[in-house]
Amino acid sequence: MLQETDSIARPADAVPAQQAQDSARSVPEAGFTVKENHWTVSLDSVLMPDAGVEPEVEVKPLPKYYKDSFFAKDSLLHSEIHGGRYGIPGDPVPYTIQRDNVLTPVLIFFVLLLAFSTKRSWKIFRLQAKHFFHNVRTGSIMEKEAVSGKTYLFFAGIYTAVLLALLFYFYAKTYIAETYVTYSEYTLMGFFLASVLGLWLVESLLQQLVNYVFFLPRERSMWTTVKMISTAWMGILLTPVFLLLSYFGLSVGNALVCTLIIIIFVKLLLFYKCFLIFFKKIGAFLQIFLYFCTLEVVPPLILWGILITIANYLKVNY
């Protein structure tokens, strides 16, 4: 039979040997504590798709030593705001019309406008070219066509003014300064264009005033038509120069020389036409030089000085 002394408790009046045996057996059991473990379910810190529960983010205020410093009372100190990326930024890409998505459609629109004006005024262009070196008779078909085609020639004059402003913009960026204080490149172009249009308007008003005082209505009408046609032809001749300069790498110096040649050529033709219309019957050579130099030579020089002054005033002086 098996002895069941291990599983049966000893009586209180057990002998000392039996009590010593029971205490020796209970010593190793006293060193181990048995606990009931309840496993806790913690939240997924990496936000796995199967978690389904978003962890609560504890927002702690900034410590006092983080804000209290020598510059703490400075209104410009905001150390908690990100100040930008690290490193040194590279040089920006220089502005060119080839990469301009705004000015290119505008130029295309003006070219189409010039083509439309030339088409509507083609008859007067052809008659003027055919009879340019001859005096026009009173009541001829050329005189009637000249009066009817002035409306469309006005748009050709605006196109020429835009080209002159853009050509001077290239000159200013190359020979005066590369950086200006204007908000954008369009602002600088706008200043140049406003100067060209303003002086063109003042020149036209002065010519109308002088012609009204000294010449007949027929002569004034013929001269106005010739002046508008010459302005349109100037814009047509300047178009290849501007396209070569903007999109095909023509140097600014060569473009400036070509522009001066075209302007001088047009002014010489105007001088001859002025003699035929106003001073052929009078025979006053001194008056024609005085009239032409005052109303045709001095205004472009004044415009050049105004544009140079604007560019020097707006440039950034380092």
Q: H helices of the chain, where?
A: 16-30, 64-67, 103-120, 122-130, 141-148, 150-171, 185-214, 217-247, 252-274, 285-292, 298-314
**Torsion 298-300-301-302 (CA) sign:** positive
Q: Which two tokens stand for residue 252?
A: 């600014």
Confidence of residue 5 (pLDDT cuts 50, 70, 90): very low
The dihedrals phi and psi of 315, each to the nearest 5 degrees, come to -75, 155
Residue 306: pLDDT over 90: yes
Q: What is the DSSP string of 223-249?
A: HHHHHHHHHHHHHHHHHHHHHHHHHS-
Distance CA 203, CA 311 (A): 22
pLDDT digits (tens, 9 = 90+) for 200-255: 999 989 988 988 888 888 888 888 888 888 888 898 899 999 989 888 888 888 99
242: nearest Cα among 101, 102, 110:
110
Q: Do the Cβ atoms of 177 and 315 come closer than 8 Å? A: yes
Q: What is the DSSP string of 115-149?
A: HHHHHHTHHHHHHHHHTTTSPPPTT-HHHHHHHHT
pTM higher than the cut 0.85 = no
For 266: left if phi > 0, alpha if psi spans -120 to 50, otherwise beta; the answer is alpha
Residue 159's SS3 state is helix
pLDDT digits (tens, 9 = 90+) for 33-92: 656 655 555 555 555 555 555 556 676 776 666 656 666 666 666 666 666 666 666 676
